Structure 1
Amino acid sequence: MLAYRFDDPNSLDALRAREEPAGEPQRGEVLVRVRAVSLNYRDIALILGRYVWDAVPGLIPCSDAAGEIVAVGEGVTAFKPGDRVISVFHPRWFGGRPPKGVAMQTYGNGVDGWLTEYKVVSQEAVVPLTDEISFEEGATLPCAATTAWTALSGSAPIRAGSTVLTLGTGGVSIFAVQLAKAVGATVISTTSSAAKAARLRDLGADEVVNYTEIEAWGRHVRKAVTGGVGVDCVVEVGGPATIGESLRAVRPGGEVVLIGFLTEANPGIDYFLLKGSNAVVRSIGVGDRAALEDLVRAWRGAELKPVIDKVFDFDDAAPAFAHLQAARHVGKVVIRVGR
Structure 2
Amino acid sequence: MRVFQIEGDWGIDNLKLSERPEPVAGRNQVLVAMRMAALNSRDLIVPERGYGRATGNLPLIPVSDGVGEVVAIGEGVTRVAVGDRVCPTYFQNWTGGAPSPARFASSLGGAIDGVMADLMCLSEEGVVKVPEYLSDAEAATLPCAALTAWSAIATYGQTKAGDKILIQGTGGVALFALEFAKMHGAHVTMISSSDEKLDRVRAMGADATINYRTTPDWARASREITGENGGYDNIIELGGETTLPLSLRAVRPGGTLSMIGVLSGLKLEASLGPIVARQVRLQGVTVGHRDGLEAMMKAMTQHQIHPVLGETFAFADLKAAMSHLKAGDNFGKTLIGF
- Report the residue type matching 1:164 in the other structure: I
Matched, 1:146 2:147: yes
- 2:5 alignment partner in structure 1: 5
- 1:14 alignment partner in structure 2: 14
Residues 207 and 106 of structure 1, relative CA distance in 2, 3 Å threshold: same
Residues 189 and 53 of structure 1, relative CA distance in 2, 3 Å threshold: farther
Partners of 2:323 and 2:205 in 1: CA distance: 29
- 2:48 alignment partner in structure 1: 48
Partners of 1:122 and 1:96 in 2: CA distance: 18
Deviations 1:118-159 (A, max 9, x none): 100000100001221111100101011111111012455112
**SS of aligned partner of 1:96:** coil
Partners of 1:126 and 1:287 in 2: CA distance: 14
With structure 2 as the length reference, what TM-score do the two structures score?
0.95
- 1:108 alignment partner in structure 2: 109
**SS of aligned partner of 2:23:** coil
Q: Structure 1 stretch 291-300 or stretch 5-14: which is displaced more?
A: 5-14
Structure 1 stretches of 4+ moved >6 Å: none
Paired residues of 1:27 and 1:73 also in contact (CA < 8 A): yes
| Mapping of residues 174-185 of structure 1, within 5 Å | 174-185=175-186
- 2:257 alignment partner in structure 1: 256
Query: 1:49, CA displacement in angstroms?
Result: 4.2
Matched, 1:117 2:131: no
Deviations 1:261-289 (A, max 9, x none): 11226362322233334211111211110
- 1:246 alignment partner in structure 2: 247
Paired residues of 2:153 and 2:181 also in contact (CA < 8 A): yes
- Report the residue type matching 2:4 in the other structure: Y
Query: 1:307, CA displacement in angstroms?
Result: 0.4
Partners of 2:333 and 2:52 in 1: CA distance: 22
- Report the residue type matching 1:56 in the other structure: G
Deviations 1:235-254 (A, max 9, x none): 11111221111111111111
- Report the residue type matching 1:22 in the other structure: E
- 1:297 alignment partner in structure 2: 298
Partners of 1:243 and 1:118 in 2: CA distance: 41
Deviations 1:186-220 (A, max 9, x none): 10000001111111111111111101011111232
Identity, % of aligned pairs?
A: 36
- What RMSD over aligned residues (CA atoms) do the two structures have, in Å? 1.7
Matched, 1:30 2:30: yes
Paired residues of 1:9 and 1:47 also in contact (CA < 8 A): no
Paired residues of 1:144 and 1:172 also in contact (CA < 8 A): yes
- Report the residue type matching 1:167 in the other structure: Q
Query: Which structure 2 segments of 5+ residues have no match?
Result: none
Query: Which structure 1 segments of 5+ residues have no match?
Result: none
- Report the residue type matching 2:226 in the other structure: T
Partners of 1:273 and 1:312 in 2: CA distance: 45
- Report the residue type matching 1:30 in the other structure: V
Paired residues of 1:174 and 1:307 also in contact (CA < 8 A): yes
With structure 1 as the length reference, what TM-score do the two structures score?
0.95
- 2:213 alignment partner in structure 1: 212
Partners of 1:205 and 1:9 in 2: CA distance: 44
- 1:195 alignment partner in structure 2: 196
Query: 1:73, CA displacement in angstroms?
Result: 0.6
| Mapping of residues 21-100 of structure 1, within 5 Å | 21-51=21-51, 54-58=54-58, 59-100=60-101
- 1:324 alignment partner in structure 2: 325
Query: 1:103, CA displacement in angstroms?
Result: 2.5
Paired residues of 2:254 and 2:279 also in contact (CA < 8 A): yes
Paired residues of 2:157 and 2:234 also in contact (CA < 8 A): no
- 1:310 alignment partner in structure 2: 311
Partners of 1:8 and 1:192 in 2: CA distance: 39
Paired residues of 1:169 and 1:329 also in contact (CA < 8 A): no
**SS of aligned partner of 1:219:** helix
- Report the residue type matching 1:115 in the other structure: M
- 2:277 alignment partner in structure 1: 276
Query: 1:15, CA displacement in angstroms?
Result: 2.3
Residues 264 and 9 of structure 1, relative CA distance in 2, 3 Å threshold: farther
Partners of 1:103 and 1:24 in 2: CA distance: 26
Partners of 2:262 and 2:197 in 1: CA distance: 20
Residues 136 and 294 of structure 1, relative CA distance in 2, 3 Å threshold: same
**SS of aligned partner of 1:109:** coil
- Report the residue type matching 1:204 in the other structure: G
